[in-house]
Amino acid sequence: MGKNNVTRRQFLSYTLTGVGGFMAAGMLMPMLRFAVDPVLKADAGGEFIQTPKKASELTSEPTRVDFTYKQKDAWYESDVTSTAWIYKDDNGKIVALSPICKHLGCTVNWNTDKAHPNQFFCPCHFGRYEKNGKNIPGTPPPQPLDLYPVQVKNGYIYLGKAQPRTHV
């Protein structure tokens, strides 16, 4: 989410250096739009996005939920699909984990490694995580899986921007 191809600092330095003065005037326009773009701001500020999953459908078993939202970068708007692993913990609290492996960014799956059932498994370098997202020592990931903030509105699950955690 919110992956900008050019950071604002880089962008400013592009407009200030190297490019002829006559170009700089022309480039001010897109720069302003880039700076105040409301979609971009909402993304960074943590807007909640609706998923197709109802809270009542959740069990204690993590299920894969895909959700789509619009993302705008400097040039165009596109539909981005993200995934969360969602379950209800023992206290009935909804837990939504990012599937992005904290090692090098592959996508983890639930319960696919036969030798280690009921864990998240990353096929790339065999990283493993407990159900709550805690990275298992001795496998490559250095951190727990990111956690999505969760809201329930009209029965549906809404997710915010996934947050990194240092420990679980």
Nearest CA among 13, 72, 43, 77 for reference residue 159: 43
Closest distance to another protein from the beta carbon of 80 (Å): 10
What, of ligand FES, another protein, none, does residue 12 touch, CB below 5 to 8 Å by kind?
none
Q: Of 31 and 106, which CB lies nearer to another protein in the complex structure? A: 106
Beta-sheet strands, E only, within the chain: 49-54, 63-72, 77-88, 94-97, 109-110, 120-122, 127-129, 150-153, 156-159
Q: Which residue has the tokens 């809270």?
A: 55
Does the protein bind ligand FES through residue 107 (CB under 6 A)? no
Residues that bind another protein (CB under 8 A): 3, 5, 66, 68, 79, 81, 100-101, 103-107, 122-125
125/153 with CB nearer another protein: 125
| Rounded least distance, CB 149 to ligand FES, Å | 24
- Residues 121 and 115: their CA atoms lie apart, in Å, by 11
Residue 3: which of ligand FES, another protein, none does it interact with, CB under 5 to 8 A by kind? another protein
Give the HSE-up count for residue 85: Cα atoms under 13 Å, Cβ half-sphere.
26
- At a CB cut-off of 8 Å and minimum separation 6, what does 88 contact? 58, 59, 60, 94, 95
Residue 81 near which of another protein, ligand FES, none (CB within 5-8 Å, type-dependent)? another protein
Binding mask 122-141 for ligand FES (x = CB under 6 A): x-xx-x------------xx
Q: Amino acid identity of 143? A: Q
